[in-house]
Amino acid sequence: MGASTLRYCAKLSVFDRGIALSNVVVIAHRGASGERPEHTLESYKLAIEQGTDYIEPDLVMTRDGVLIARHENEIAGTTDVADRPEFATRRRTQVIDGETMTGWFTEDFTLAEIKSLRARERLPELRPKNCAFDRRLEVPTFDEIMQLATDANQSRGNGPRIGVYPETKHPAHFQALGLAQEKPVLDVLERFGYSHEGSPVFSPLTRTICGS
């Protein structure tokens, strides 16, 4: 699994105490994004097959309040929405966290509409081989990602569970729209048995050293 696809993290105590490198936690940042378009089930699945400890989805909201995985809520760069004439009038300009952005935004689409789109490579110059998957893969929901992890856990038997590192994008923006992300994230984690103490959920509040 290439370094470009991963974020390597370890608790500070690992370095402070000189613990072996085997205690380093491997987090697949957006899945195996160097080999599959990021934030697709295929990207997360490949990362799991390659032995990652955690998968990291960036989460945004649809108009009908469903968590989906996209790098940003502006989706022209990660889906084929700009090529879909039925959605041409959805293009608009708005200010998000102090930055003016123009494009198509997840909060203007229902989940059914998002599911009609297809993912595409966000950085084709950097990851040209991923373009072979353009317009072939769906945009996944957080529930679908957690189901993927659950299925992988079952196949592992007594092995360690796949961890998740959910990152909410633009939470203040979504809260102002009445689409707060925090409770839906917790609800999904609870549904899939990841809400109790000791569950492999990586918290941004944990003191870590991380590099992308």
The predicted pLDDT at position 15 comes to 44
Report the C-alpha gap between 155 and 150 in whole angstroms: 9
The answer to whether 14 touches 23, Cβ cutoff 8 Å, is: yes
The predicted pLDDT at position 75 comes to 98
The predicted pLDDT at position 18 comes to 52
The predicted pLDDT at position 139 comes to 98
Catalytic positions are: 29, 71
State pTM to two decimals: 0.85
Report the C-alpha gap between 204 and 207 in whole angstroms: 8
pLDDT tens, residue order, the chain (212 aa) = 343 334 444 443 444 445 455 678 889 999 999 999 999 999 999 999 999 999 999 999 999 999 999 999 999 999 999 999 999 999 999 999 999 999 999 999 999 999 999 999 999 998 999 999 999 999 999 999 999 999 999 988 788 899 999 999 999 999 999 999 999 999 999 999 999 888 999 865 443 433 33
The predicted pLDDT at position 3 comes to 36
> How do residues 146-202 score in pLDDT, each as one tens digit?
999 999 999 887 888 999 999 999 999 999 999 999 999 999 999 999 998 889 998
